[in-house]
Amino acid sequence: MSKERLAAFVDAVLAIVMTIVVLEFAEPAELSWEALWAMRSRLAAYAVSFFWLGAMWVNMHNYWHFVDRVGKRTVWHALVVLFFSSLIPWVTVMVSDNFDNVVAQVCYGAVVLAVTFANMAFYRSTERVNHVVSRLSHRQWFHGPMMAADLAIKAAGLVVCVTVWPPAMFWSVLVSLLAIIVPPQLRECVDDEG
């Protein structure tokens, strides 16, 4: 399979998943400021899930420039990433409707961690086939302190969620997104423009 065909498939499925996240967003019972305010956890869950998936898509988009070949293992790893990603709309609704519920937050965290681990396997499978990948900043990210920090934040969120405060899982994903995942991408944007 060509890398373009796999990239197009991944892009299409992620676009559909991101669209489903917003389609699950219900209208307020009445059009008032109070009704909109009551939907704040739903809006927050939607925003975090959308931008988390978006950041994953940006990483993959940047990564594909350095990939020359796609092996069968990479195709299967991409399918696993997409499978777990397709669960994001479901767990997003679960969390938004039950923000302080341990089960909802653990399900959300389990899916987020499953996508994270599937992504790691996906990138490693491309490294096996493409020797040029060693030039990538993604290699540092997936094997270095950034990945460890990302996983530590999410794992800590899961532990706090189960033991003390259920919303900790959601907030750990937001912190990881804003502190670990997005800043390197923004720096690359500045470097590209500068």
Q: What's the pLDDT tens digit per position in 3-20?
A: 999 999 999 999 999 999
In this structure, how many other beta carbons lie within 10 angstroms of the beta carbon of residue 49?
28
CA distance 7 to 17: 15
Res 194: pLDDT:
62
Q: Please check whether residue 18 is in contact with residue 89, taking contact to mean a CB–CB distance below 8 angstroms.
A: no
| CA 189, chain centre distance (Å) | 19
**Residue 131, C-beta contacts closer than 8 angstroms, at least 6 positions apart:** none
Most confident of 25-34, 54-63, 66-75, 93-102: 93-102
pLDDT tens sequence across 46-68: 999 999 999 999 988 888 887 88
Instruction: Assign 106 a pLDDT band (cuts: 50, 70, 90).
Output: very high
Please tell me the predicted confidence (pLDDT) of residue 62.
Answer: 82
Give the model's pLDDT for residue 132. Answer: 52
CA distance 108 to 92: 7
* pLDDT reading at 137 higher than 80: no
- Most confident of the following: 57-66, 140-149, 152-161: 152-161
- Report the candidate in 27, 17, 29, 25 with the shortest Cα–Cα distance to residue 45: 25
pTM over 0.95: no
> Rounded to an integer, what is the distance from CA 145 to the centroid of its chain?
18
Segment 139-167 shows an average pLDDT of 85
- Choice among 73-87, 118-132, 143-157, 172-186 with the minimum mean pLDDT: 118-132
- Which helix (H) or strand (E) segment is 146 a member of? helix 145-163
156-174: average pLDDT:
97
Structure tokens, 162: 């189960």
Lowest mean pLDDT, pick from 20-29, 73-82, 102-111, 171-180:
20-29
Q: In whole angstroms, what separates CA 21 from the centre of its chain?
A: 13
